[in-house]
Amino acid sequence: MTTVPAGIDPGWQTNPGRLRQRARVLAEHLDDALEAADPDLARVAVRDVMAGPAWREHHAAAVRLAASRQQFVQQAEAQGLPKAQIDSHRNTVLRWPEVPMPVGVMPAEIAATRPAAKTVVVAADWSVGHSVGKHPTAAGDWAGIQEMLDRGEVQQEASTGHLSIFLRRAGVEWALFLRALPDHWLVTTLFQPKPSYRANKLARPGQIKVREEDAGGGP
């Protein structure tokens, strides 16, 4: 038998991400298979994933879970529940499944900044959903990540190795943040920044420009 905090709608005992735990295992196998493939074939495979139903459902599920988490917090705070109890519920019943979906393949010159990391870049449901209120995206927006990896201006944070990639696509400025984990690159945020954001980011101490933006197109 499961329980939920007193005063909270019993529907909150259903974790929207619970049924996606199996998807995590499958996604990790896909990630390994892509990493072992020829880079050109891996790019094609990732492109197909991004254009198919698996990515659309991944994105939609992340947005739904983000909304559920936000709604629960609002309801719980209105009931006066302690923050520790709210956080516990979010981190168990409403936790992010952390399913790693491939969204791009790192070009060789950028991959060289972290040789131990896989070249396949992944985005978890957390990557999509954690800032959906501030930076909402459509599933199709993420299909442009490969172009950003290939052509965007790349900045690196010297202390962490994290990357910030900027590209103007179809007249719109986009920013992609990648976290440098021990063995792979994880998307943390994809969003449309203010025009001055790119220059301001580069001006921060320890921020290094690794590559200029290629405005001409092509990989």
pLDDT in tens, 40-60: 999 999 999 999 998 999 999
Residue 192 confidence class, pLDDT cut points 50, 70, 90: very high
Q: What is the pTM of this model?
A: 0.84
Quote the CA–CA distance of 211 and 193 in Å, as a whole number.
19
Strand-pair partners of 157:
207
- Whole-angstrom CA distances from 98 to 48, 60, 135, 183, 216 are 21, 14, 19, 16, 35
For residue 31, pLDDT over 50 is answered with yes
pLDDT digits (tens, 9 = 90+) for 133-177: 889 999 999 999 999 999 999 999 999 999 999 999 999 999 999
For residue 67, pLDDT over 70 is answered with yes
For residue 19, pLDDT over 50 is answered with no
Residues contacting 93, CB < 8 A, separation 6+ = 4, 12, 13, 15
113: nearest Cα among 61, 73, 155, 169: 155
Mean pLDDT of the chain: 87
State what percent of residues in the chain have pLDDT above 70.
86
3-state secondary structure of 178: strand
pLDDT of residue 43: 93
Q: Are strands 207-211 and 101-105 parallel, antiparallel or unpaired?
A: unpaired
Top pLDDT among 124 and 10 is at: 124
What ranges make up the beta strands (E) of 98-148?
101-105, 120-123
Q: How many CB atoms lie within 10 A of CB 79?
A: 12
Top pLDDT among 201 and 133 is at: 201
pLDDT of residue 5: 39
pLDDT of residue 132: 85
Quote the CA–CA distance of 183 and 13 in Å, as a whole number.
34
pLDDT of residue 34: 83
For residue 131, pLDDT over 90 is answered with no
For residue 27, pLDDT over 80 is answered with no
pLDDT of residue 21: 55
